[in-house]
Structure 1
Amino acid sequence: MNAVIIAVLLMIILSLARVHVVLAITLSALIGGLIGGLGFSDTVEIYGSGLGGNAEIAFSYVLLGAFAIGLSRTGLPDFLVDRLQLWMKRKGDSDRDTLTRMLLFLMLLVVACMSQNAVPVHIAFIPILIPPILLILNRLEVDRRLIACILTFGLTAPYMLLPYGFGQIFHKTIADNMEASGLSINIDLIPEAMLLPTISTFIGLLVAVFITYRQRRIYKDVPLSEENHDETKSYSVTSLSLAVFAVVVTVIVQSFYRDSMIPAALAGLLVLFVSGAVKVKKTDEVMSEGIKMMGFIGFVMLAAAGFAAVIRETGHVESLVTNVAGMINGNQVIAVLLMMVVGLIITLGIGSSFSTIPIITTLFVPLGLEVGLSTLAIISIIGSAGAIGDAGAPASDSTLGPTAGLNADGQHDHIWDTCVPTFLHLTVPLFFVGWIAALIL
């Protein structure tokens, strides 16, 4: 029995059976280590030491979560919602104005894309921005499945391509784990390798906008719960200016420290606290909410790093690669297809592309080298296979976030209105184009 196969399959089965993903990864690592002949004590020790592999990235997530909460306290998201509603009243000559609908879609797309790179708040903007405009979407008879596709595209495509914000974390995760698996790369190659896969998701989005969900859909005007109506929300010219300044400082600092998001996130938080945009006495509250929002992803990434460390130590990765390479006889087409399938299954099970990277890199780097794939091709496979399930996984924050906002009035189903549409329009094209891109690079 190969420890890699058993551990990966067990992790997937446990995840799909609704076992908490951190527990599923940890149990799978222990079983994999035992099957690999490491012994229980050695497996636990290796798993513990391996947790540090993604510690910096996990901590970056927590700090970015706190920064997102801090920005929300300045009133910047509320200001954007108010401007949108005012703009709708001025521009909306009729509830069926096509131009109004398209401009609204464009606005949501831009905000979602900026949440990954320019203003790295991730999904924090959704529960703040989306519920207040549901009535507007209802009056325009917009199919919320389309909005789910727009939001999920904005939450995934930018980090795949652009090395800023969460994209910087994604790219660094790929580079660091490829180096740990025996292939050092220039991190600047990643955007080139991920260009075609990212374009494929944009094409899928266009299909959703102009073909699949272009028809109007009727929703009831249901009042939102009181928790979505915070009467204390306020903003001023000063608070908005400080929020914008904090974002600018974060982007500038990040441009100087591309190897880590920690300095940039800390700089943004310091601007908010020192300037008084967020009261210093609210520091504990902001940090706690940031940890609550992003802590899950951070723990999954830590567990995934420990899992990868145990799997590498068993020595079964090399035997698996040798056996698979012998079975496919150097056929790159079949090899890449198998990699994409494995990436899809693992990401769907874990629900996080960032946490999938350490696991699949352990397998894909030696296998890619064995069948003669180029460095660009291996990067493309790892990046595509890692992100491939993010847009359709039920446990992914890229699908949970849109559902949280669109279902504020109870009229949007997570699986059928978010996961299925995003899987069909974003994941499916990424799978096939990622496969083709790896073969031509």
Structure 2
Amino acid sequence: MLSAYRQDTFFLNRALPVLIGLAAIYGALWLFAIPVNAVVLAITLMVVFCLIKIPVAVSLVSAALLGGLHARMTMPDILQVLNDNLLSGAQVGMTYIMVGAFAVALARSGILDWVAQKMASSLNREGAHVRQQVKWMLFALFIVASLLSQNLIPVHIAFIPVLIPPLLGLMNRLRLDRRAVACILACGISASYLLLPFGFGAIYLNEILLENFNSVGAASGYAATASMAPKAMFFPVMGLLAGMLFAVFITYRKPRDYIKVTKAETENTDMIATDEKIEIGLQPLLFTALAVVTVLLFQIYFDSLFIGAMIGFMILGFSGIYRWQAQDDVFTQGVRLMAEIAVIITIASSFGALLTATGDIDPLVASATQFFGDNKLFGAAVMLVVGLFITIGFGDSFASVPILAPIYIPLAFALGFSPLAALAMLGAAAALGDAGSPASTITLGATAGLNADGQHDHIKDSVIPTFFHANIGMLLFTWVAVVWLLG
């Protein structure tokens, strides 16, 4: 009853006044015959709906319907556009589902638990006289795990709640600031899929970024190849690296004290006690290695992460790592892990198509071109900030690309940007905000691991630190690159 009351209070005190304010502003604009661009209206509504806690999928569909109606499209036409464009997004969404199932099966193998325990026990034996060495070994572990989680072993954020909790006791003794760890995880995960074309990187760079860039950019004479995507994203990733280094060496370099957690409290919070020895046999190790190699080979040679993840899932099922009867349960958990992302990506594809169908993109680009003139410096800055605003709204860079592409590519062409610069700006703008959004899987995953003992706040210790270090660094480096180096 109390939780329901709090939810009603949030709606009455925050959400409802915002909705009434939006309706009043729209009514005033209509009353004074002030034109409103349907694309701007739809995107603004989508972001506002997300910020007032309406589910992202519902926000996308609702904003699309309202934007289409404002553009004087009929309801049947709006629904036809939405339905016709679900397929392209669904292909990527299904890949996410299968990767989620593989991630859960991999976690069932106990490999991550075993690695975490071995790391903690070996470091514990080192002693206090090598405190700095232990600290940097931990940071290196977090960086490597973040990079591998998106590409070689595509488990996304599933490794964080398994790897981090067993190490919290050690981190407390070293007095590590967990905000630095949150920045390492966010920057490492983002950099991996933005730069390396394997696993989730293959999905983002090839199946989402390149596909949308080429399909939308064909009308402007833009074309990009697979080799151009990593080149375009190099400078944004360098911004992430700079932000991570700034967090580790400057912002959060000072020691921070946390309350020592007793063994009873550790068990109550589902943390793994390091004194309970975990042993992994040769058979699980071999089958896990075979599954990982299979996924990697299918990515490289057959260009199909979906099939690779499916076969990897089957290999782990045949291996006996978990009971054969539990396969449905493992797959269902994988669906739950990735379902929200898959649904958002599927609907976002239709949302982007509807923006094009309104016919208001060309007037928007024309008015923006008049406003910017030939000032690439100002134009690039505004476009990147808009991308940051949009992605912060619903916290998913993969779903941002089809929303931004119909606007960014014609505008980049009108401003005279090269295809490589336009690709970099689109890819970076869609990723901006992902690491610093309260709804992002990256920040949620970081909090799930670092708050296992109740001493890490989601907003203050995950969202705000990652926003200022990951997003600001990427924005500045991208801005400099597209204006002076790639443009």
* Category of TM-score, reference length = shorter chain: over 0.9
Partner of 2:346: 302
Cα distance between partner residues in 2 of 1:276 and 1:45: 47
Alignment of 1:133 onto 2:167 = yes
- Which segments of 5 or more consecutive residues in structure 1 lack a partner in the other structure? none
Partner of 1:118: 152
1:155-304 correspondence to structure 2 within 5 Å = 155-172=189-206, 173-183=208-218, 184-222=223-261, 223-226=265-268, 228=270, 235-258=280-303, 260-304=304-348
Cα distance between partner residues in 1 of 2:452 and 2:269: 10
Partners of 1:78 and 1:234 within 8 A in 2? no
Q: Of residues 323, 330, 339 in structure 1, which corresponds to 2:374?
A: 330
Cα distance between partner residues in 2 of 1:123 and 1:218: 26
For structure 1, which segment, 298-307 or 228-237, has the greater mean C-alpha deviation from structure 2 after superposition? Answer: 228-237
Partners of 1:95 and 1:139 within 8 A in 2? no
1:133 is displaced (CA, Å) by 1.2
Partners of 2:154 and 2:199 within 8 A in 1? yes
What are the superposed Cα offsets for residues 318-362 of structure 1, whole Å, 9 maximum, x if unpaired? 121112112212221222112101100000001000011110011
TM-score, normalised to structure 2, is: 0.87
Q: Of residues 144, 147, 150 in structure 1, which corresponds to 2:181?
A: 147
1:291-370 correspondence to structure 2 within 5 Å = 291-370=335-414
- Which segments of 5 or more consecutive residues in structure 2 lack a partner in the other structure? 1-35
Partners of 1:160 and 1:170 within 8 A in 2? yes
Partner of 2:15: none
Alignment of 1:9 onto 2:53 = no
Q: Identity over the aligned pairs, expressed in percent?
A: 37
Partners of 1:161 and 1:167 within 8 A in 2? yes
1:180 is displaced (CA, Å) by 2.5
What are the superposed Cα offsets for residues 136-160 of structure 1, whole Å, 9 maximum, x if unpaired? 1111111110111111112111111
Partners of 1:189 and 1:376 within 8 A in 2? yes
1:229 is displaced (CA, Å) by 5.0
How many residue pairs get matched? 439
What are the superposed Cα offsets for residues 174-219 of structure 1, whole Å, 9 maximum, x if unpaired? 0111122133321220100111110111111111111111111110
Alignment of 1:36 onto 2:80 = no
Letter in 1 for 2:106: L
Q: Of residues 75, 88, 98 in structure 1, which corresponds to 2:110?
A: 75
Cα distance between partner residues in 2 of 1:224 and 1:127: 14
Secondary structure in structure 1 of the residue aligned to 2:462: helix
1:276 is displaced (CA, Å) by 2.9
Partners of 1:131 and 1:405 within 8 A in 2? yes
For structure 1, which segment, 41-50 or 162-171, has the greater mean C-alpha deviation from structure 2 after superposition? Answer: 41-50
1:224 is displaced (CA, Å) by 2.7
Secondary structure in structure 2 of the residue aligned to 1:174: helix
TM-score, normalised to structure 1, is: 0.96
Letter in 2 for 1:318: D
1:377-396 correspondence to structure 2 within 5 Å = 377-396=421-440
1:384-423 correspondence to structure 2 within 5 Å = 384-423=428-467
Cα distance between partner residues in 1 of 2:371 and 2:113: 58
What are the superposed Cα offsets for residues 16-75 of structure 1, whole Å, 9 maximum, x if unpaired? 111111111110000111111211121112112222221111111111111110011111
Letter in 2 for 1:50: N
Cα distance between partner residues in 1 of 2:371 and 2:184: 41
Q: Of residues 90, 102, 108 in structure 2, which corresponds to 1:55?
A: 90
Letter in 2 for 1:66: A
Alignment of 1:98 onto 2:132 = yes
Cα distance between partner residues in 2 of 1:296 and 1:421: 25
Partners of 1:253 and 1:267 within 8 A in 2? no
What are the superposed Cα offsets for residues 278-328 of structure 1, whole Å, 9 maximum, x if unpaired? 433221111110011111101111111111111111111112111211221
Secondary structure in structure 2 of the residue aligned to 1:181: helix
Cα distance between partner residues in 1 of 2:141 and 2:430: 28
1:89 is displaced (CA, Å) by 2.1
Secondary structure in structure 1 of the residue aligned to 2:266: coil
Cα distance between partner residues in 1 of 2:159 and 2:427: 25
Letter in 1 for 2:231: E
For structure 1, which segment, 266-275 or 307-316, has the greater mean C-alpha deviation from structure 2 after superposition? Answer: 266-275
Partners of 1:145 and 1:417 within 8 A in 2? yes
**Root mean square deviation, CA, Å:** 1.6
Distance 1:143 1:309, change over 3 A: same
Cα distance between partner residues in 2 of 1:424 and 1:225: 34
What are the superposed Cα offsets for residues 402-431 of structure 1, whole Å, 9 maximum, x if unpaired? 001111111101111011111111110111
1:122 is displaced (CA, Å) by 0.6
Cα distance between partner residues in 1 of 2:44 and 2:359: 18
Partners of 1:96 and 1:140 within 8 A in 2? no
Secondary structure in structure 2 of the residue aligned to 1:284: helix
